[in-house]
Amino acid sequence: MIFKKIDSVYIVFATLIIFLLVSFYYSVKIEKDVKAKYQNMAKVERLILLNLEIDTFLVKRLKHINFDIVSQNILDFKMILKDLNKSDIRFIKDTNTIKAIFIINQKFKKKRIVVEKFKSNTGLFISSVHYLLSINNVLQKSYYFSPIILKTQKISLSFTQSLFEKRDLLEISHVIKELKNLFKSNKLVDPQIKSFIEHSNSSLKTINVLDDLIVQKEVISLNKSLLSLKTIMQNNFEKSAKEEKFLQYILFVVDVIILLLLISTYMSMKLSQQNLSRFKNAVENSDNIIIITDIDHKITYVNDAFVNITGYTKNEIIGKKPNILKSGRMSKEFYENLHTKLKNNEKWEGEFVNQKKDGSLYHEATSIVPIMNKNEVEGYLAIKLDITNYVEQQEELFLKTTRLNEAQKIAQIGNWELSLKSSNIHVSNEVMRIFEFEETKKNMLFNEFLKYIHTDDKTKVILAFKQHISSEYNKNLEFKIVTCKNKPKHLQIYLHKKFDKNGELIAINGTVQDISKLVLAREEINFIAYHDHLTKLDNRIAFENKLEHAINLAKRRDKTFAVIFIDLDRFKIVNDTLGHQVGDKLLKIISQRLKNTIRESDTIARLGGDEFGIFLETTTTSKEVEIVAEKILNEVQLPVKFDNYSLDVTASIGISLYPQNGDNTESLLKNADSAMYFAKDRGKNNFQFFTETLSQEVYRRHNIEQSMKTALINEEFSLVYQPQYALNTKKVIGYEVLLRWYNEELGSISPVEFIPIAEDSGMIVSIGEWILKEACKTYIKLEKLGVAPDIFSINVSSIQFRQKNFIKTFLNIIEEAGVRPSSIELEITESYLVEINEENLTSLARLRERGFSISVDDFGTGYSSMSYLKHLPLDTLKIDKSFVDDTPHNKSDVAVVQAIITLANSFGFKIVAEGIETQEQEHFLKKYGCEIGQGYLFSKPLNLNDLIDFLE
């Protein structure tokens, strides 16, 4: 039966191959045919083109032509036609085509003759025309006005023209006859004229031949035949294409039918084969190990699975007992149970751990059945399944679950899944930890979950879950919860979607993480970003934000408010002299005080360094602002006491008002700042409202401050020296060193204007050091020249005195320069004396001990109590220029000067009168016991060279 089937398959298969080969051969043949036909068609097309070119040559009439071109055309035509004659048999078979080609051959032969004749006659004709023209030229000379010449001219012209266009030949022949008659009637014998007439006649013949040839060409109508050949070929082509297509189609159908037949035969054969071997396969190829033993447990049959799994070959195992597989892992009881069951002819089921041939262990699920034959046990059938992989997978799964739980515990990330069907949330162990559930709770309902969510966030969470169902993206969600143990926590959950196989959304799942710490950190960062770390007040950014908000609010509600800018006076000095720690503590205390002065609704911020900003949101009048400013000044003024320090601090305050002084943050702050500078200018410890003029002053002050920063480097400072002289002898006894500043942009700036600024900014310290260095250099120079007076005086700012290592620095500079301290008098202002305390006093005393002289400048302008002077380590008093100016006419000034001189004499101080400008003044001072003077009368301040000259 099988053999028969196979035979039939072979037959069908062979038929199929034959038909396929036929189809293939046929399609190749068709392709070849088509190619040949296309080539032939192309040839015909080329012939048509060539014929057209040949015709063009004929139509071009008689113009000179390179015969090579038309010769080549003829040759090409001939070759292609020859080719076409020889071409493919199938193509020629068609009688119509053969006929058409035959006709073309004939016509071409005729056409060639026409062309060749045309060529020959053209040459002949052209040369004749040339000849006629040249004879005409000769005749013109001898028959100038004769009618003959008119005729010859006309004839030669007509022939020449006929080269280019068709001429009426009858007319020409008529003229020739006339010429002939003329020639005869005149009985002329000129051979030239005779020759002319002969050539004219022959030319006429030639031109007739040429015209005739053109007509012949038309008659031959090679083009028509070519076109008809083309049509025939095209028709044949289409017809055969149809036939071929049909045949191919038939062949294809036959192929398909045979193929189907083959397939069905194969299928039926396969089915019967399957049926036959199914049982055998079931046993042989079963994944189950099948063992059959005889009654003595000796193995009689094993299948392939047994061989594959245990590694024993069939030959090895047949005749042996199954206990060869024993691993020794199973207990005695296990085997006893097995044997008892089998003895009772019962089925036994259980799991073994057995040993393979190579010693490795495997798990198997086994069922053993006794094979019964007529109630007698004949043997045993054991069916076993290798479950090693399953067991290992189980173990691995267990491990994985544990690991995942541990990982979540470590990472503190839990995962959850909300089933949309049951609204049940399945959660991981970590989630339980986060929610601080007491009992193990793997599931909870969504509503129960909502209970733990902080009331603030409940709607947000519900909404987010709802939206997530329809949303395309996965997202993060943050919310607060209250755990079972009533502990608030911030959670972040990641929402993800879970689809089943059909792409239907079945659950929302994701991770959950306790981000409470993160949120705290975030809040802290926010606080740091908008607060000053030292004072915990708002920082500049926060202040500007709030201010902007206030402006917007005020704009809408048509309200006014004030911005207050506070700068602590000379705070830099505190920082420089007492150190930053003290400065920081001071700032903390001041900021607390400032905060206490304002209402809760007002805003205060530390804008930087020692600058504070306040804005009073609900202020309506400037009076109200004044009250607040006043309060601030008073509050700041209170002594600051801490760590054994007692500091007196004042503040300068600038105020700008919205909307009068600006409608944006920038201008309001800038203007308040300007007003503050103005307040500083006004002697500090006061407040000023912003005005337009004020801004100009502040601008100049600002400019000066900025320019001063680079003045030392740019060497803009210079020193001048005003000599001091003994009023009695008019001899120079010393000079005062004065500072001058010239800046490119600002011009000369008076020390009265820039010294306070230098003091405020602390720049006076470095300027002072520079002055001392320069003055020492000058003094050394003078000493070398031998003209140095005993002493020179320089001004020292109180700010300099406050420098911690002021004395040390001073001494270093002097030592380096090589000037003795006894040559230097330090001038201090009277106002410094006012603020003098124990510490200042000791530093003055120490300077004096070193040999410096101390003088009080501008004496009389301050408020120093005269009696206090006695205790001070002083050497000289300088009477201020303002008193000297009006002496001796202003009585009160005269009284003051007298008093000062008397006082100084009684304390043993030297007296120096400043600003002596007239003889009168000098006389008056001398009279009342003033010994030393200084002023324009004696000498104005001089530069170094002038001073040297003056001294010499």
Partner 1 sequence: MFVKVIFFQILLVYSFAESLILPIPLNTSYNKQKALLGKELFFEKKISPNKNLSCASCHRLFSGGVDNNILSDLDKSSKTSFNTMTVFNAIYNYKNFWDGRAENLEEQLNDSFNSFLKTKNDKINFMESLSPMYKKKFKKIYKDGFIYKNLLDSLVEFQKTLTTPNAPFDKYLRGDKNALNYKEIRGYEIFKSVGCIACHNGINLGANSYSNIKINTNEGNSYKGCYGKTVSIEKSFLVKVPSLRNIEITAPYFHDGKMTKLNDAIHGASTHALKRKLSANDITFITHFLKTLTGEMPKTINNNK
Interface ranges with partner 1 (CB under 8 A): 63-68, 71-72, 74-75, 78, 112-113, 116-117, 119-124, 126-131, 133-134, 136, 140, 150, 153-154, 156-157, 160-161, 163-164, 195, 199, 202
Q: Are 622 and 657 in contact (CB under 8 A)?
A: yes
Least spacing, CB of residue 210 vs partner 1, in Å: 12
**Identity of the residue, 117 or 363, whose beta carbon is nearer to partner 1 in the bound complex:** 117
- Closest approach, Cβ 226 to partner 1, in A, equals 20
Closest approach, Cβ 45 to partner 1, in A, equals 22
Tell me how far, at minimum, the Cβ of 196 lies from partner 1, in Å.
11
- Long-range (24+ apart) CB contacts under 8 A made by 532-539 are 532/605, 532/606, 534/584, 534/587, 534/588, 534/606, 535/587, 535/588, 535/591, 535/592, 535/606, 537/591, 537/595, 537/604, 537/605, 537/606, 537/612, 538/603, 538/604, 538/605, 538/606, 539/605, 539/606, 539/607
The nearest distance, CB 124 to partner 1, in angstroms, is: 5
DSSP per residue, 865-929: -HHHHTTS---EEEE-HHHHHHTTT-HHHHHHHHHHHHHHHHHT-EEEE----SHHHHHHHHHTT
Instruction: Give the tokens for residue 891.
Output: 């009585």
CB 258 within 8 A of CB 13: no
Q: H/E element holding 660? A: none
Torsional class of 857: left (φ above 0), alpha (ψ -120 to 50), beta (otherwise): beta
Centroid of chain to Cα 98: 78
Q: Which is nearer to partner 1, 34 or 163 (CB)?
A: 163
CB-nearer residue toward partner 1: 136 or 674: 136
Half-sphere exposure of residue 918, counting CA atoms within 13 Å on the CB side? 9
Q: Which two tokens stand for residue 155?
A: 């004839």
Sorted by sequence, the CB contacts under 8 Å of residue 161 that are 6+ apart come out as 167
Q: Which two tokens stand for residue 688?
A: 């000023």
Close Cβ partners of 128 (under 8 Å, ≥ 6 residues apart):
159, 199, 202, 203, 206
Q: How far is the CB of 199 from partner 1 (least distance, A)?
A: 7
745 in helix, strand or coil? Answer: coil
Residue ranges of E strands in 392-433: 413-419, 424-427
Q: How far apart are CB 108 and partner 1 at their closest, in Å?
A: 12
**Least distance CB 142 / partner 1 (angstroms):** 15
905: its two tokens: 């004499």
Closest contact distance (angstroms) between CB of 184 and partner 1 is 19
Residue 213 CB, shortest distance to partner 1, in Å, is: 12
CB of 201 to partner 1, least distance (A): 10
H or E element, residue 938: none
- Tell me if 904 sits within 8 A of 931, measured CB to CB: no
Separation of alpha carbons 630 and 86, rounded Å: 127
How far is Cα 659 from Cα 646, in angstroms, rounded to an integer? 41
Residue 329 has φ and ψ, to the nearest 5°, of: -85, -15
- Determine the angle formed by the axes of helices 67-86 and 95-142, rounding to 10 degrees: 170
Of 169 and 578, the one with the shorter C-beta distance to partner 1 is 169
Pick the closer one to partner 1 by CB: 107 or 802: 107
Nearer to partner 1, 195 or 459 (CB): 195
| Cα radius of gyration rounded to whole Å, the chain | 65
The smaller minimum CB distance to partner 1, of residues 117 and 926, is found at: 117
- Distance in Å, CB of 56 to partner 1, minimum: 16
Q: Which is nearer to partner 1, 113 or 361 (CB)?
A: 113
According to DSSP, the residues that pair with 326 across neighbouring strands are: 354
Query: How far is the C-alpha of 701 from the C-alpha of 703, rounded, in Å?
Result: 5
Closer CB to partner 1, 126 or 894, in the complex = 126
Find out whether 352 and 364 touch, Cβ atoms under 8 Å. yes
Shortest distance, CB of residue 52 to partner 1, whole angstroms? Answer: 20
Among residues 150 and 894, whose Cβ is nearest to partner 1? 150
Query: Which amino acid makes up residue 166?
Result: K
Between residues 120 and 526, which has the closer beta carbon with respect to partner 1? Answer: 120
| Exposed e or buried b per residue across 113-127, where buried means at least 16 C-beta atoms within 10 angstroms of its C-beta | ebbeebbebbebbbe
Q: Which is nearer to partner 1, 82 or 442 (CB)?
A: 82
Compare residues 130 and 731 and give the one whose CB is closer to partner 1: 130
Which CB atom, from 82 or from 466, has the smaller least distance to partner 1?
82
The distance of closest approach from Cβ of residue 171 to partner 1 in the complex, given in angstroms and rounded to an integer, is: 15
Minimum distance, C-beta of residue 148 to partner 1, in the bound complex (Å): 13
Residue number, 154 or 460, with CB nearest to partner 1: 154
Closer to partner 1 by Cβ: residue 156 or 575? 156
Q: Is 313 in contact with 299 (CB distance < 8 Å)? A: no
**Closest to 657 in 3D by CA, of 699, 703, 688:** 688
Residue closer to partner 1 (CB basis): 72 or 621: 72
Contact of 794 with 751, CB cutoff 8 Å: no
Nearest to 798 by CA among 833, 825, 766: 833
Closest CB 225 distance from partner 1, rounded Å: 20
CB of 202 to partner 1, least distance (A): 6
Is the distance from CB of 226 to CB of 105 less than 8 angstroms? Answer: no
